[in-house]
Amino acid sequence: MTLDPSGRALSDFTVELDVYSGPYEWLLALILKEELEIFEVPLRELVALYVQARNPEAPNALERDTDFAGSAAALVLLKSRTLSPLSEDGEDEVEQALSPEQLAERLTRYLMVRRGAEALRERFRANAGHHPSAHLLPPRPGRLRIDPNRILEAARRSFSRPAEPPVRHLGPITVTLQELASLIRAALAGGGPVPYEELVRDMDRLHSAVTFAAALSLAHEGHLTLRQSEPLGPLTLEPIQ
């Protein structure tokens, strides 16, 4: 086993027991979660393992001994309360005695406080040499340079009207919605339904799209009805009698 002075004091302490093999802190966690019964853990063997692994010359030897002594004492109390339930004689004795749940809660708080102290110590160690000061450093002349031309350019871009998009690639509009609406009315003048495919058979894409828009407009106004038996199926324009 190797002892690492950095990090938590008992983070590298591992145990080899019949019921558990692994880090000592995980053993405490299993006991607190009641996934491992406390009376199955041989405390004497646990202490012997720590004594064998103890290195008095380690920089954090005192911290390790303190952590192990505190956690081991809590385990002893917890095991004693579990194996020897309190007698019902005497109300004062019952009130003053601690239950296994209370001992487990104390052990949990101990681990939380200990790990919080280790986190603070690590943070203080990382910030060593940095001290806050209430004095403000005066600005150094010449560090900040402002170009008036760049300010004018930024203002011009912020308050100027955006440029219109180019439309030179678009051809002239040669068809109107009113013209194709008149064409649809003339096709429906006979009184019968007119398939949309026959209506736009000789038209290009632009005229076909505008014709469909004109048909939707006439249907919205109530001049005709659009019927389609299935999705994406043939479209039929029927006049409203």
User: Residue 201 is part of a domain; what is its CATH number?
Assistant: 1.10.10.580
- What does the pLDDT read at residue 6? 39
Structure tokens at 38: 């406390």
- pLDDT per position as a tens digit, 126-136: 887 776 666 77
pLDDT at 78 over 60: yes
Contact between residue 50 and residue 68 where contact means Cβ atoms under 8 Å apart: yes
Number of structural domains found in the chain: 2
Question: Do 193 and 111 sit in the same domain of this protein?
Answer: no
Give me the amino acid identity at 223. Answer: H
In a domain, 191, yes or no: yes
Question: Do 31 and 115 sit in the same domain of this protein?
Answer: yes
In a domain, 146, yes or no: no
In a domain, 131, yes or no: no
CA angle 180, 186, 187 (to 5 degrees): 90
Which domain, by its residues, includes 51?
Answer: 14-86+96-125
Q: Which helix (H) or strand (E) holds 30?
A: helix 24-32
Question: Do 23 and 108 sit in the same domain of this protein?
Answer: yes
Q: What is the pTM of this model?
A: 0.35
Question: Do 121 and 182 sit in the same domain of this protein?
Answer: no
In a domain, 167, yes or no: no
Integer Cα distance of 130 and 110 in angstroms:
30
- What does the pLDDT read at residue 95? 47
pLDDT at 173 over 60: yes
Indicate the angle between helix axes 24-32 and 61-83, nearest 10 degrees: 30
Integer Cα distance of 187 and 185 in angstroms:
5
- pLDDT per position as a tens digit, 21-60: 888 888 888 888 878 888 788 888 888 888 888 888 888 8
- What does the pLDDT read at residue 143? 63
Question: Do 116 and 185 sit in the same domain of this protein?
Answer: no
